[in-house]
Chain A
Amino acid sequence: MSELATSALSGAQFNGLALIEDAGLCGMISLRGDLAAAAVKKAVKAATGLQLPNTLEYVAGEANAIAWFSPDELLILTPYDEAEAMTASLSGLLAGKHHLVLNVSDARALIRVSGRALADVLAKLTPMDVSASAFGPGTCRRTRLAQIPVAMWMPAAGRVELVCFRSVSGYAFEALKTCAYPGSDVKHHTL
């Protein structure tokens, strides 16, 4: 039914010190379970084609990706229209094993931030270490963006994807935009 669905930010974009874009609808599946268990690894591999990420990491394939969220939680990313089926398939694969698989695609908004001043813009809002040595491609963090909780990962150098709750996506976008106004360049981090 995705023709009826609209992302919370309706395709918003801002180009300043960094490019901030609504990434649109994205399938997101929350998986809770024993990440060390073979059954979980197998189920995730079968459903996504991907190995489990290590602690604080992010792995991506062609269509799917997985972000490590906590010692017993993953966020699986997949195209929006496939999330329901993948949720069902994971639930089936994990039947009998204590777990929780939920389609949370609609609960969140995904924002892409990219550009030369990416790290400087993020550092205005998040207390996490955004320097290249601490937050590089393939890493994932759960942190805060000003006053809201977010998770972010770096699929490739110079590009970050950030998820927040849907209801505060407007706040997240405005905050990022404000911190990316031309003229507020900090020139601290180098890409």
Chain B
Amino acid sequence: MSKRLATGGRLIDRKRAVNFTFNGKQLRGQAGDTLASALLANDQMMMGRSFKYHRPRGVVASGAEEPNALMNMGEGGQFEPNQRATTTELYEGLTATSQNHWPSLEFDVGAVNSKLARFLPAGFYYKMFIHPRPLWKHVYEPFIRRSAGLGKAPVERDADRYEHFHVHTDVLIVGGGVAGLQAARAAAASGVSVLLIEQTAHWGGRAPVDGGTIDGKDPARWVDEVIAELSALPNVKLRLRTMGSGVYDHGYALGYERVADHTPGDGRPRHRLWKIRAKQIVTATGAIERPLSFAGNDVPGVMLASAVRDYVANWGVSPGDRTVIVTNNDDAYRTAFALKAAGLEVPVVVDARAGLEGPLPEQARAMGIRVEAGKGIAFVKGSRRVTGVALTPQAGEGATLEDVPCDVVAMSGGWSPVVHLWSHCGGKLNWDDAQACFRPDPARAPTGADGAAFVVAAGAANGHGMLDATLRDAHAAGKAAARSAGGKTHRKAAPKADAVAEGPMAPVWMMPQGADQKLRAKMWLDYQNDVKVTDVQLAAQEGYESVEHAKRYTTLGMATDQGKLSNINGLAVLSKALGEDIPQVGTTTFRPPYTPISMGAIAGEARAELFQPIRKTPMHDWHEANGAHWEPVGQWRRPYAFVRDGEQVADAVQREVKNTRQALGLLDASTLGKIIVKGPDAGRFLDMMYTNMMSSLKPGRCRYGLMCNENGFLIDDGVVARIDDDTFLCHTTTGGADRIHGHMEEWLQTEWWDWKVYTANVTEQYAQVAVVGPNARKLLEKLGGMDVSKEALPFMAWADGQIGNFKARVYRISFSGELSYEIAVPASQGRAFWDTLLAAGEEFGAMPYGTEALHVMRAEKGFIMIGDETDGTVIPQDLGLHWAISKKKTDFLGKRAQERPDMARSDRWQLVGLETIDGCVLPDGAYIAEDGHNALGQRKMVGRVTSTYFSPTLERGIAMGLLERGSERMEEVIEVPTLGGVTIPARVCDPVFYDKEGKKQDV
């Protein structure tokens, strides 16, 4: 059984107990525990069930690479699945449940899958469920989805806060082990700014556990001293609990800080995503130990050798009383020494290598530990917990030599440098035969915009296993990075380290090397995805030669751990099955994040009210307080209608239209785009931007204009006012202001850069109110200040002046067909102006109206709306707007495109009005159909409804549409099929339904 030792545990505080629950059981750990160490201390070796076969699984590792011990953490708004117990710091009141089991961890129904393992080989789902096709969607997929899946999805809204943090630094160092610390020292001495981040809560990495000396000191003491030294430096920033998540182009990196995972509810943001711009990045990310592939290597109690000594040394936890060590290298002997020092039994060290003469095996023998050279484990005994192992010659096929009872197996298949961050942005790897691992190739580092390398790997992450080599390498890496980042050179030397020399390791990809099918089918490569040696071999046999294909087919290296343990072992098996060398097979692609990061951290502050900026006009608060039913237009919120008590939205629209046509309507038109175009070439420029002539417009006058892109398609419309000889004010659609301003600037900056024109988007400088209806003039005359008579300010004129106490610019323009003034005042006075108009207008029946009333009124007048009548494929000619297209101008944007045969053909869809025979309202977007079929065998479509409303003025449905040869088909009755199957007949008519002569607006 696993238990807390009486002494030891450098990271725990034995005086402070911490209570937590696991699967509803009340348990107790110590401050400084991880959830995994606390569970082990409570004899909870089994921590979950596997994904596919629901096999009992225990913790394997002690850090970020853990594949098995994934937990549902927290409750309610703090629930989160797939949290690794090994990286979860214990806190008071922590609640965790294990995943992938039903009804309980101890007794699981799904474990029957394990008995069916031979029927569930690689690619099983692909093979089994491909036929018959319809069954996949309706039967197989829902069933599989119910029985599979890692963890549960949260149900409640996330209760925590998250944030981003942008940082610029000369050198970013990822990894706070001794390599990262030394790299930071070396870089800092150059005077550059250094940011050092470490994913765990402690500095020093493995060195304090693994021993040796640095500058004659115990590594833990050296680490403390270096941290004190670095903390005192103004150019160094240190950050614990911050993982280097990804490295991207241009020296960009993401750091994932788990600010308050261990102190929930203390008011701090839970996670903080660091967006780092670094001139140079040092990856001192260490190395991960590899498992060995022997039968039953997934039984709870089989652990990585390094993890076993971590639990003893760091947390004072014994994973078991009797530990068999199985290895292909010298490092694992350190686990034997650690266990012995803790008073635990090591019945045997099973070493796959022959002839063991290095100092570490010698030391083991000298301590009286039995060492078996050239041996391996044939299989592990036990199902929910290791009970023993069968030894076998490594060179053989698995014959049992001897049974050794034990409750833990500590395995080591060698070490793989953590090359993820090196590889994210294109760093390449070399295969190192001696250490049987991929390591960074410094000649093929990730490069920046200048073609120079911007990532340097350091220490164990660079393939240096020994302490002295690690520190020398890290020192050089820190210096090199600082130099590339502009630091000054210095002559400081790397510290001298001492560690026991290690003999060469021997690659072992299968144990024993000649294992038969039965054993191979129990050798787990990927614990998280239940991928076995036989699965990878089957994939190879079936033709999956590419490592990327084999990964997807077998699921090797997928899911939350992304193959941190299984990658190298899996591709070694694949390469062997393919008869190729490992480097020829290569690795799968390393992609960020290094370990999963929370969705909350990615969103940062962008949630709820801050999800997106909402643009508000100066009158927004009044609208909100007065029943505004909002409509988003771009990022603006505009009132769709002002709904009164007892009204439906549609009622409000009807009322607003009628009132505006009969009395007086007020529209908040502040969102309308307003762009100033000024300069000696402004007229010439606008003649290019608009289809009609703008340079001939007289100061004081307005003209409606159309804007097309270079393909001839209509992109925006609006009224242009000439302010003076040099200056125009161009109105754009609400959603178009930024886009059209950008469009203007693009042409000015890239094509006509020598034209003397300045533009400015002044949309927000003004609050603009449309005062509309037969009583409009009465209201303005009551307020006084300027002459707004027909004579002084005729239709399509504008004037600066005074309305009441407000300095105003008044435009006589109309989008409703009524007498209308659009009045611009400084935005800061917008609310006061609006209130004044409402109060003074009361006697004239003033009533605000929203965007839907505006739409209805413009449709009654046959005015087009960008985005309704246009969709990016419509030219002005389609809309009967020939009158607004200059024939005199030699050029304008879109002119040549509109002369193309396709634009000029006679059967284009053209704008028409549509009146239903029975007066009903046509559905929006409905197609107009004719008898017969098109080339695809579909019903022939000859047009579509682009705008359709109930007109309160005409008391019937009105619509506009685009119809093939529409202009030639007046009075024809066409058919509009609807989704319900009913076909509605409608008569083609002029799109102007109301006041065709335009008398009402020109009074």
Using a CB–CB cutoff of 8 Å, the interface residues on chain A facing chain B are 1-2, 4-8, 25, 30, 32, 98-100, 102-108, 120, 123-131, 134, 146-148, 165-168, 170-171, 174-175, 178-179, 181-184, 186, 188, 190
Contact = CB atoms under 8 A, between A and B. Distances in A.
B598 to A, nearest CB: 16
A107 B166 contact: no
B617 A167 contact: yes
A15 B807 CA distance: 37
Nearest to A131: B168
B458 to A, nearest CB: 23
A93 to B, nearest CB: 16
B827 A183 contact: no
A120 B166 CA distance: 9
Given A102-B676, A147-B606, A183-B269, 12 more contacts: A5-B829, A8-B827, A32-B760, A99-B758, A124-B163, A124-B604, A134-B168, A167-B616, A167-B617, A168-B613, A168-B635, A184-B163
B605 A124 contact: yes
B755 to A, nearest CB: 10
A7 B266 CA distance: 36
Given A167-B764, A174-B609, A127 B829 contact: no
B678 to A, nearest CB: 5
B163 A4 contact: no
Contact of B613 (A7, A171, A183): A171
Contacts of B290: none
B613 A5 contact: no
A163 to B, nearest CB: 11
Interface in B181-226: 193
B844 interface: no
Contact of B610 (A25, A165, A178): A178
B832 A108 contact: no
A5 B676 contact: no
A106 B765 contact: yes
B26 interface: no
Given A147-B613, A184-B161, A184-B163, A105 B828 contact: yes
Contact of B237 (A7, A30, A126, A188): A188
Contacts of A190: 234
A186 B165 contact: yes
Contacts of B269: 183-184
Given A99-B758, A167-B616, A182-B267, A106 B606 contact: no
Contacts of B635: 168
B760 A102 contact: yes
A103 B765 contact: yes
B765 A104 contact: yes
Given A100-B758, A124-B166, A166-B764, A175 B605 contact: yes
Contacts of A179: 163, 605
A98 B828 contact: no
Contacts of A146: 605-606, 610, 613
B826 interface: yes
A104 B760 CA distance: 10
Given A168-B613, A179-B163, A184-B269, A100 B762 contact: no
B165 A1 contact: no
11 contacts: A4-B805, A5-B828, A8-B828, A99-B758, A100-B760, A125-B605, A167-B615, A168-B635, A183-B266, A183-B269, A184-B161
A90 to B, nearest CB: 13
A170 B617 CA distance: 11
Contacts, number: 139
Given A100-B758, A106-B826, A123-B165, A148 B765 contact: no
B129 interface: no
B610 A175 contact: yes
Given A167-B615, A170-B616, A188-B167, A106 B764 contact: yes
B165 A124 contact: yes
B889 interface: no
Nearest to B613: A171
A113 B114 CA distance: 62
Closest 7 interchain pairs by CB?
A183-B267, A5-B828, A167-B615, A100-B758, A106-B827, A107-B764, A171-B613
A184 B268 contact: yes
B831 interface: yes
B679 interface: yes
Interface in B216-273: 234, 237, 239, 266-269, 272
Contacts of A147: 606, 612-613
Contact of B272 (A131, A166, A182, A186): A186
A32 B758 contact: yes
Contact of A188 (B165, B275, B762): B165
B832 A5 contact: yes
A84 B826 CA distance: 11
B250 to A, nearest CB: 12
A183 B416 CA distance: 39
A85 to B, nearest CB: 13
Contacts of B605: 124-125, 146, 175, 178-179
A8 B618 contact: yes
A17 B164 CA distance: 16
Nearest to A182: B267
Contacts of B337: none
B155 to A, nearest CB: 25
Contacts of A124: 163-166, 604-605
Contacts of A7: 828
A126 B612 contact: no
A147 B613 CA distance: 7
| Most A C-beta atoms less than 10 A away, residue of B163, B167, B764, B829 | B764
B496 interface: no
Given A99-B758, A168-B615, A183-B267, A129 B168 contact: yes
A166 B765 CA distance: 8
Contacts of B832: 4-6
A99 to B, nearest CB: 7
A175 B618 CA distance: 20
Nearest to A80: B828
Interface in B752-791: 756, 758, 760, 762-766
Nearest to A32: B758
Contacts of B167: 123, 188
Contacts of A102: 676, 760, 762, 765
B680 interface: yes
Interface string B671-703: 000001011100000000000000000000000
B749 to A, nearest CB: 11
B553 interface: no
Contacts of A108: 764
A107 B766 CA distance: 7
Contacts of B22: none
Nearest to A100: B758
Contacts of A181: 161, 267
Contacts of B807: 1
B636 interface: yes
A107 B765 contact: yes
Contacts of B606: 146-147
A12 to B, nearest CB: 13
Contacts of B266: 183
